[in-house]
Amino acid sequence: MPFLLLLIIFIPEVSAVSGASSGKILDNPWDHSPITVYIDDKNTPLHYSPTYYRQVEKALEYWEEGGNGNLDYTPVFEIINSEEADISIRWVENLESIEGAPSGVAGYARPRVSGDRFVRVDVVLEVGNYQGKGWRQYGDSTMLTISKHELGHALGLGHSNNRRDIMYPQYEMRDNINPILLSKYGGLLSAAGLIALIILLFLGISWQYSRRKRKKLENECFNEDR
């Protein structure tokens, strides 16, 4: 069942916000390159999956390769092990319960601005949300989408009105594979799949053998009757 997630940005009053049609907060918010990034995979919540780190790396690669095509510059990132990085990324269990965010918000970017430049951007991503009373863990594909979106804000992009654009402020999360369960039981699932395949092959071979044997008997009976 689809579940709608909201993606937001906190825009400081001092920032120069462009018109809604441009979809930009700042045209070129960074005055240097590479843009340093700190990914906090140490202070993580209970349901954090180690696979999320790779999704952030893929999101960085996405923007380095051009992203949605709306940037006027080509960003170059450098991941460093320092909280003093230009962009700091961390995870929380749930934004609504931990930081009082509106219901359904899956991530946010909070830039600190000086003049017409970003000084620092804090990106916070949640690892899951509540659907009714039940907890729903985000899969890797959802985390990748959220990461791409919030990094777009960190590069100066605002929200888009195009539903197909990564910067559209809503994301419809469909059935997703829980990465924690996959890491725990992936081996068992693979083994079960292999066993099922062997059984299907055996049944197929047995059916072919029985079919040939039945046809042979039918031919013998037909010849005797003649």
Closest CA to 75 of 56, 62, 88: 62
Closest CA to 156 of 1, 31, 50, 27: 27
The mean per-residue pLDDT over the stretch 114-127 comes to 96
DSSP annotation of 42 reads S
The mean per-residue pLDDT over the stretch 127-144 comes to 89
- CB distance 126 to 49 below 8 Å: no
pLDDT score, position 192: 55
pLDDT score, position 99: 79
Higher pLDDT, 204 or 81: 81
Query: Tokens 């960085």, residue?
Result: 60
155-187 per-residue burial string, b: 16 or more CB within 10 A, e: under 16? bbbbbbeeeebbbbbebebeeeebbbeeeeeee
The chain-wide mean pLDDT, for the chain, equals: 82
pTM of the entire structure? 0.74
pLDDT at residue 132 tops 70: yes
